[in-house]
A and B are shown apart, each in its own frame.
Chain A
């Protein structure tokens, strides 16, 4: 199997882009990614998107987005896996290039969250849960996280306030990311005073849904133009694993089993252990999910990720930095686009282009995207070209 590399990246700041449409949002990531990749021309576009058919009443995004970006006559379609849609599209691109059937793939994650306003929008995000048996109980994704966090506090006797370490580090990192939605560090007092959302989650334990688009160009290393070799990033591990959709159907809801298995799969393929990575771009969609992801990956003992977070292990200067560009909490959560942002941010670190957030000597990244409470887990290992 020929080695698959990321040859170009593009991203548009996450936020509330009232004047920018879904198609235009995608183009603002696609065009920079193509430019970044030099002379490579994409033969296929895989779109990661979650809410388009509902919030924008728009399906068949593959065609619409390709056409709008001037990519007529190529292969294109959408991959949907809730919050892991972007990572799913990236996996699709990886498989296509690795298979040898497609030489150059463009992957775009795009979410247009602000085409409408009101409670119906919140209801659309619930479609990734079990409609008959969760949504009809009035549950939302944030409330689902509330259920898991409440159980976590009970099982591990953890103090709720300890979870503030995750949003604090995310906001500290987001402050230096020009593409982040929130670019301001917060204090422990701000976290402590935040209003209750879905208890025990407070407002700062929840990442903000927003508009966003990020794109990457994938190809085989042998096809790279000479100029692009230096900044190329290799994909050395790729794994998608699903769990049962609803936490109530899982024997151990706090285990995030799909997250664990997908880390295991990606690392096995890369020939590494999770401890061998320099940083971990995880899905801190809710503070509790950061803790559960770390524990599932084996980066923290069960029930103890919050302790390590308080000790500073996961900060930029810690032994395992996470959410290095602000994560979901500060960069923002553009749902179906988020997985591609995570890849783009990891590439920035591996290329040494992360500015003030640069982790010195970063060579290897673990990137994990979750659909729902790790109902879908997509994990990749990325490495700097030697």
Chain B
């Protein structure tokens, strides 16, 4: 059971909370102890909008341990509108084909169990196509 390590990053997984560098103001995800841009210490929380676009993608037909029951699934590099790129699964694709540049939005989904069906459920960010909205 890996309870502590998953619990520790709930804010990142649930809400895409990263950092804004107090020195050079770039947005950072995931949080780091040192800003990758200016080398200053980055400690200010920043909540990302969850909007972005597909930078690249692939599909896994055989998953590693823990993901077997979710296969096949599509993993993407998603470029967030604030700059950083995250690795995440795409979900709710239905029959939607994936393309580089496709706009996506963050949703919170079940990632997997910690261990078998008795284990804690791990929730976190995935992304899905934005195409079905009429909301303004």
Chain A contacts to B: CB under 8 angstroms: 118-120, 122-123, 125-126, 130, 132-140, 143, 146-148, 150-151, 154, 196-201, 244, 246-249, 253
**Is B107 part of the binding interface, using a Cβ–Cβ cutoff of 8 Å?**
no
Q: Is the CB of A151 within 8 A of B60?
A: no
Contact status of A248 and B85, CB under 8 A, knowing A132-B5, A137-B75, A147-B58: yes
- Which B1-31 residues have C-beta < 8 A from chain A? 5, 9, 12-13, 30
Q: How many residues on B have C-beta within 8 angstroms of the other chain's C-beta atoms?
A: 36
30 A/B residue pairs, CB under 8 Å, sorted by A: A119-B68, A120-B65, A122-B62, A132-B5, A133-B86, A133-B87, A134-B87, A136-B122, A137-B89, A138-B73, A138-B75, A139-B87, A143-B60, A143-B75, A146-B58, A147-B56, A147-B58, A147-B76, A147-B77, A150-B56, A150-B100, A151-B56, A151-B100, A154-B56, A198-B59, A198-B60, A198-B61, A199-B59, A246-B87, A248-B86
Q: Choose from B30, B56, B65, B73 the contact partner of A132 (Cβ within 8 Å).
A: B30
Digitize B49-67: 1 where CB-to-A-CB distance is under 8 Å, 0 elsewhere. Answer: 0000001111111111111
For residue A147, which residues in chain B have a CB less than 8 angstroms away from its CB? 56-58, 75-77, 87
Contact status of A150 and B58, CB under 8 A, knowing A123-B65, A244-B36: yes
A312 to chain B, nearest CB (A): 29
B93 to chain A, nearest CB (A): 14
Best-surrounded residue of B13, B70, B88 (most CB of chain A within 10 A): B88
**Is B103 part of the binding interface, using a Cβ–Cβ cutoff of 8 Å?**
no
A-B pairs with beta carbons under 8 A, tally = 97
For residue B122, which residues in chain A have a CB less than 8 angstroms away from its CB? 136
- Residue of B whose beta carbon sits closest to that of A152: B56
Best-surrounded residue of B5, B9, B12, B57 (most CB of chain A within 10 A): B57
Contact status of A122 and B56, CB under 8 A, knowing A244-B36, A246-B87, A248-B77: no
For residue A151, which residues in chain B have a CB less than 8 angstroms away from its CB? 55-56, 77, 100
**SS class, residues of chain A in contact with chain B:** helix
Q: Is the CB of B57 within 8 A of A150?
A: yes
Q: Is the CB of A138 within 8 A of B89?
A: yes
Cα distance A136–B2 in the bound complex, in angstroms: 12
Cα distance A150–B77 in the bound complex, in angstroms: 11
**Is B129 part of the binding interface, using a Cβ–Cβ cutoff of 8 Å?**
no
10 nearest A-B pairs in the assembled complex, by CB-CB distance: A146-B58, A123-B65, A151-B56, A123-B64, A248-B85, A119-B65, A122-B64, A138-B67, A147-B56, A120-B65
For residue B36, which residues in chain A have a CB less than 8 angstroms away from its CB? 244, 249
Cα distance A80–B62 in the bound complex, in angstroms: 27
For residue A140, which residues in chain B have a CB less than 8 angstroms away from its CB? 60, 63-64
For residue B13, which residues in chain A have a CB less than 8 angstroms away from its CB? 136
A133-B87, A136-B124, A139-B87 given; 17 more Cβ-contact pairs under 8 Å = A119-B63, A122-B64, A122-B65, A125-B64, A132-B9, A132-B12, A133-B12, A136-B13, A136-B122, A138-B75, A140-B60, A147-B87, A148-B56, A151-B56, A197-B61, A199-B58, A248-B84
For residue A134, which residues in chain B have a CB less than 8 angstroms away from its CB? 87
Cα distance A327–B57 in the bound complex, in angstroms: 27
- Residue of A whose beta carbon sits closest to that of B70: A138
Q: Choose from B58, B88, B111, B124 the contact partner of A143 (Cβ within 8 Å).
A: B58
For residue B100, which residues in chain A have a CB less than 8 angstroms away from its CB? 150-151, 154
